[in-house]
């Protein structure tokens, strides 16, 4: 690691080394491979041989301290990991106590076991190894989770990143489900993930945000902003998102993202309630061989399935009038902030 300008950089602590060497006033460059020093001003020249030797000694001492601190930091990071029966849980914040990390690991393992029971599924450890669950600080103050593939030791591994360590995790059940059922089609992946979140996860999680996906879809229909299911493609772009790799997704259209997820959650629940969980598992399995095999699995096409779903929502609309009217106001006010505002309202419910 190296910095070069007319200032001096040195490491005061492991944190300063980790995030970039800190500035001083002496005009010096410290490298992990070479150590150079010069006096600021004076054209970078060193004026005396004695001064040169003294400066070099100081730089060598600093370099040794940097290396020592780095090694100490790495050992601390390696200790912040707990293995459960099916997960490898680690702390990327560097701030969790051992008891806090153990509590999060126990919570993740219990949730994972509930997921396997709900889907009558295998963990996939024999094929892919244990799932790595990495707890980190919230991104842009948003508590969420992501699933992505990584490579470790030349082998593909499943990773679930959980952004937030306080309270009940959001979207963790969703993303652990994606790890159990790897799926290229985002629509099918989200159908299964959101359904699982409703069953064993956190109701405050996006896209429900403390309400029901059915409530959101009925509100979207009233605002005439509903997106037909076929327009939600297998990749991220049609969902108002962009994949930047390693679990990093950039949201390009918050309102569109929320609409797509809410509709998918409601549609997936309709299929679950109407046809049962085995049909959804069959849809997942056959979709690896054929794009969205609705007809093969449900004996009807997507247009008929979608119409039946919307009709079912409207039949029960009266029972949801109160929630729909609340969400309608949020969507008409600012659809980009509708979810966080709904979460605030939900936490105030008696």
pLDDT tens sequence across 303-312:
999 999 999 9
pLDDT at 290 over 60: yes
pLDDT at residue 33, as a whole number: 35
pLDDT at residue 143, as a whole number: 84
Query: 282: exposed, middle or buried (C-beta count within 10 Å: 0-12, 13-18, 19+)?
Result: middle
pLDDT at 228 over 50: yes
At which residue do the structure tokens 């914040």 appear? 93
Give strand pairing partners of 312: none
pLDDT at residue 59, as a whole number: 44
| CA dist., res. 110 & res. 329, Å (int) | 37
| CA dist., res. 232 & res. 306, Å (int) | 13
pLDDT at 234 over 80: yes
pLDDT at 110 over 80: yes
Lowest mean pLDDT among 6-20, 66-80, 287-301: 6-20
**CA–CA distances in Å: residue 255 to residues 123, 249, 309, 333:** 34, 15, 22, 12
pLDDT at residue 54, as a whole number: 52
Structure tokens at 12: 């005061």
pLDDT at 132 over 70: yes
pLDDT at residue 350, as a whole number: 58
Asked whether the bond before 207 is cis by omega within 30 degrees of 0, the reply is: yes
| CA dist., res. 182 & res. 49, Å (int) | 65
| Cα 327 from chain centroid (whole Å) | 25
- Calculate mean pLDDT across residues 233-251: 88
pLDDT at 73 over 70: no
pLDDT at 26 over 60: no
pLDDT at 35 over 60: no
- Calculate mean pLDDT across residues 162-167: 92
| CA dist., res. 179 & res. 130, Å (int) | 10
pLDDT at 7 over 70: no
Q: Percent of the chain, pLDDT > 70? A: 77
pLDDT at 156 over 70: yes
pLDDT at residue 167, as a whole number: 84
* pLDDT-based confidence at residue 29 (cuts at 50, 70, 90): very low
Could you tell me which of 264, 263, 296, 268 has the C-alpha nearest to residue 280? 268
Q: Percent of the chain, pLDDT > 90? A: 69
The architecture in CATH of the region 80-182 reads 2-Layer Sandwich (3.30)
pLDDT at residue 58, as a whole number: 54
pLDDT at residue 249, as a whole number: 82
pLDDT at residue 180, as a whole number: 98
pLDDT at residue 140, as a whole number: 73
- Each domain of the chain, given as residue ranges in start order, spans 8-79, 80-182, 184-350
pLDDT at residue 102, as a whole number: 96
pLDDT at 171 over 80: yes
Q: What is the pTM of this model?
A: 0.76
* pLDDT-based confidence at residue 168 (cuts at 50, 70, 90): confident
pLDDT at 279 over 90: yes
Kindly report the number of other CB atoms within 10 A of residue 220's CB atom. Answer: 22
pLDDT at 297 over 70: yes
* pLDDT-based confidence at residue 145 (cuts at 50, 70, 90): very high
């Amino acid at each position: 690691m190296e910095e070069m300008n007319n200032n001096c950089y040195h490491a005061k602590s492991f944190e300063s080394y980790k995030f970039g060497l800190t500035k001083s006033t002496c005009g010096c460059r410290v490298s992990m491979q070479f150590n150079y020093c010069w006096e600021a001003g004076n054209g970078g020249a060193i004026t005396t041989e004695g001064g040169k030797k003294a400066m070099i000694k100081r730089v060598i001492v600093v370099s040794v301290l940097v290396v020592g601190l780095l090694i100490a930091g790495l050992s601390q990071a390696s200790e912040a990991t707990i293995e459960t029966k099916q997960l490898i849980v680690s702390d990327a914040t560097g701030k969790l106590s051992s008891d806090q990390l153990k509590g999060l690991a126990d919570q993740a393992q219990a949730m994972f076991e509930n997921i396997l029971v709900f889907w009558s599924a295998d963990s996939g450890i024999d094929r892919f190894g244990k799932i790595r669950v990495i707890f980190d600080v919230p991104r842009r103050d948003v508590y969420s989770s992501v699933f992505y593939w990584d490579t470790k030791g030349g082998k593909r591994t499943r990773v679930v990143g959980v952004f937030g360590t306080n309270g009940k995790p959001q979207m963790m059940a969703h993303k652990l489900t994606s790890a159990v059922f790897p799926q290229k089609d985002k629509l099918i992946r989200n159908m299964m993930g959101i359904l699982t979140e409703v069953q064993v996860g956190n109701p405050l999680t996006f896209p429900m945000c403390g309400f029901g996906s059915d409530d959101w879809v009925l509100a979207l229909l009233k605002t005439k902003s509903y997106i037909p299911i076929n327009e939600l493609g297998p990749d991220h772009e049609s969902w108002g998102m962009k994949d930047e790799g390693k679990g990093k997704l950039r949201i390009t259209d918050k309102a569109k993202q929320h609409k797509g997820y809410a509709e998918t959650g409601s549609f997936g629940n309709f299929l679950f309630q109407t046809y049962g969980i085995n049909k959804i598992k069959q849809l997942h399995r056959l979709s690896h061989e054929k794009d969205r095999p609705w007809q093969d699995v449900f004996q009807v096409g997507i247009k008929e399935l979608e119409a039946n779903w919307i009709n079912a929502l409207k039949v029960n609309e009266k029972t949801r009038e109160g929630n729909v009217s609340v969400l309608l106001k949020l969507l008409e006010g600012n659809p980009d902030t509708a979810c966080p505002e709904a979460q605030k309202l939900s936490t105030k419910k008696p």
